[in-house]
Amino acid sequence: MTATLTRMDQRTSTEPDTDGSPGVFAGSARLTDRPHEQVVHMADAETGLRAIIAIHSTTLGPALGGTRFYPFPTEAAALDDALRLSLGMTYKSAVAGADLGGGKAVIIGDPAAVKTEALLGAYGRFVEALGGRYITAADVGTDASDLDVIGRHTDHVVGCTAGVGGSGDSSYLTALGVYESMRAGARHVWGADGPGGLTVGVEGVGKVGSELVRMLVDAGADVVVTDVNAAAVGAVLERFPGVRAADGLGGERIDVYAPCALGGTLTPGGVDGLDARLVCGSSNNQLSDACVDTLLATRGITWVPDYLANAGGLIQVAGERAGDDGALVESRVRAIGGRAAQILDRARAEGTTPGHAADKVAEERIDGA
């Protein structure tokens, strides 16, 4: 195998590029304020693997985060995603109370075209070479069976299938954490006991979104779904005849918006036209820009921060590492609702946004460690 392992952490994020431009590590204030510990790139000519592992922080424990296998248009786009997602994982672990840091990996390429056992094996050796500073899991474009292959080459993997001792797919517990957060949000906004009687728009009915729809239907919510994949919508409508489908949620009168597709769907322009009073979903990095947090609050829309609501999968794999039983792990995921309530209350009491209040909770834990 011809592989290059390149450490790129020699330059601090505040240092400009030689041409005076801010540089890739200064893409946002948060990236500058909380620089990454280590970012590593690997290119393996033999298997075609091109991957980046970003270790944002190991202050609370080894950096855990999924491997995203995606046809990024450029290496810069892949790096940007890895940097932002790994930073988000640091905050997610901190708020979830896990003894884990934040990391994320990206493999550049279309998984449907280039994913092979040999490539995943090379990637597993790449993870192993970091000696446990980074622990991988599944993300967009990878699943538990891919982790089984990766796990033949490294010990630092979680979320493999039950057949090899892993805790498997995390979509149920992720959806449960989102659902409990939504209950907390409904109490905060309407004084309601849950989403029953509310109209909830779910954008993206893949693994997590479809589980969330089931929980919402059981709770008596009126559910409208949208997805670019007609088959995913069809499967949900077949399971739940009372659910409606829409071509996007823009024209829909909804009380709650649940983004469960890709990140960046809360944009300054989009917030202006948003009818909902509560936003709570599973996708990572929902805000296209940090200022959207304030725009939402100004419009009287309560946002349950993404990394707070969608920590169920992280709590699952943290429990797998600790050898905890399923009932205990599920009770920890349900506790996300209580944490969401505390953070929404703190934001209200301090006259700040939920995003800012959640960041403070995370930073207090990290800085106090």
Ligand X SMILES: NC(=O)c1ccc[n+]([C@@H]2O[C@H](COP(=O)([O-])OP(=O)(O)OC[C@H]3O[C@@H](n4cnc5c(N)ncnc54)[C@H](O)[C@@H]3O)[C@@H](O)[C@H]2O)c1
Q: Which residues make up the interface to ligand X (CB under 6 A)?
A: 140, 170-171, 174, 203-209, 226-229, 232, 260-263, 282-284, 310, 313
Catalytic one of 92, 104, 115, 207: 104
CA neighbor of 285 nearest in space, from 129, 102, 84, 120: 84
State how far the Cα of 101 lies from the Cα of 111, in Å rounded to an integer. Answer: 27
For residues 79 and 258, which CB has a smaller minimum distance to ligand X in the complex? Answer: 258
Structure tokens at 30: 């948060």
CA neighbor of 254 nearest in space, from 274, 281, 237, 228: 274
State how far the Cα of 209 lies from the Cα of 217, in Å rounded to an integer. Answer: 12
Instruction: Please report the sign of the dihedral spanned by the C-alpha atoms of residue 276, residue 279, residue 284, residue 288.
Output: positive
Shortest distance in whole angstroms from residue 65 CB to ligand X: 10
CA neighbor of 180 nearest in space, from 354, 342, 334, 315: 334
For residues 13 and 307, which CB has a smaller minimum distance to ligand X in the complex? Answer: 307
Shortest distance in whole angstroms from residue 288 CB to ligand X: 13
Query: Whose structure tokens read 């409904």?
Result: 186
For residues 237 and 262, which CB has a smaller minimum distance to ligand X in the complex? Answer: 262
**Is 360 known to be catalytic?**
no
Shortest distance in whole angstroms from residue 226 CB to ligand X: 5
DSSP 132: T
Helices within the chain (DSSP H only): 29-33, 75-96, 111-114, 117-129, 144-150, 171-190, 207-218, 230-239, 268-272, 292-298, 306-309, 312-322, 326-334, 336-350, 354-367
Residue type, 114: V
State how far the Cα of 169 lies from the Cα of 172, in Å rounded to an integer. Answer: 8
State how far the Cα of 148 lies from the Cα of 96, in Å rounded to an integer. Answer: 26
Shortest distance in whole angstroms from residue 167 CB to ligand X: 11
Shortest distance in whole angstroms from residue 83 CB to ligand X: 16
Shortest distance in whole angstroms from residue 142 CB to ligand X: 10
For residues 15 and 247, which CB has a smaller minimum distance to ligand X in the complex? Answer: 247
Sequence length of the chain is 369
For residues 14 and 229, which CB has a smaller minimum distance to ligand X in the complex? Answer: 229
Neighbour tally for 110: CB within 10 Å:
12
Shortest distance in whole angstroms from residue 195 CB to ligand X: 18
β-sheet with 49-57: strand ranges across: 3-7, 38-44, 49-57, 101-108, 63-70, 134-138
DSSP 17: P
For residues 119 and 178, which CB has a smaller minimum distance to ligand X in the complex? Answer: 178
For residues 154 and 167, which CB has a smaller minimum distance to ligand X in the complex? Answer: 167
Catalytic site residues? 104
